[in-house]
Structure 1
Amino acid sequence: MSQVTKRIVQELHDEPHLEGRRITVRFLKEQIEERGLDPRTVADRHDLDVADVYRALTYYHDHPEEMRTIERRRRSAIEAHAHLATDPDDVRD
């Protein structure tokens, strides 16, 4: 087993995450590639080893079909439960 997959596990909602943490591979990818944060910054903010951040990114890109499936499931769940969300403009003090 490679070092990359040794630290990435799927115990939490069937989504790959860092072993012993609730931080998902998808979350770390979003922070770096979509929000433009530096991997060191993300590691520091979440008390992670920067190598684990890079492991998560590697896992994401080494498993594109798995990650697309996870994102589709996530979008479907959000859409299925959208009726339960409250619009902040509808909330009054």
Structure 2
Amino acid sequence: MSQVTRRIVRELHDEPHLEGRRISVQFIKTQVEDRGLEPRTVADRHDIDVADVYRALTYYHDHPEEMRTVERQRESVVEDHKHLTTDPDDVRD
């Protein structure tokens, strides 16, 4: 198992993530709370300590305004780049 992460930082894409990793707080929250995966499963799949999963979840819930801002920024980026994607229904064989 990986070394214990001690902090949540904002060095990557200005989004909170596990120190020394590219795993965001938002990603962990989505995996556990939205997809229903167990914290241990998320930890095992991403080679992190289960404590880091709980740290990320705690950070998410301790900073609701910051996380809403992150979510709005993600939605804005997706919307801004939507014209660059192709709808699978529009692709012909």
Using structure 1 for the length normalisation, give the TM-score. 0.89
CA distance in 1, matches of 2:47, 2:15: 20
Q: CA shift at 1:7, angstroms?
A: 1.5
| 2:29 aligned partner | 29
Long gaps (5+) in structure 2? 1-5
SS where residue 10 of structure 1 aligns?
A: strand
Q: Deviations over 1:14-33 (max 9, x none)?
A: 00000111000000000000
Find the counterpart in structure 2 of residue 3 from structure 1.
none
| Structure 1 partner of 2:42 | 42
Alignment of 1:14-93 (within 5 A): 14-92=14-92
Identity %: 80
Moved over 2 A (4+): 88-93
Distance 2:42 2:91 in 1: 33
SS of 2:11's equivalent in the other structure is strand
- Deviation for aligned residue 1:92: 4.5
Report the count of equivalent residues.
89
TM-score (norm 2): 0.89
Matched residue SS, 1:11: strand
Q: Which amino acid aligns with 1:49?
A: D
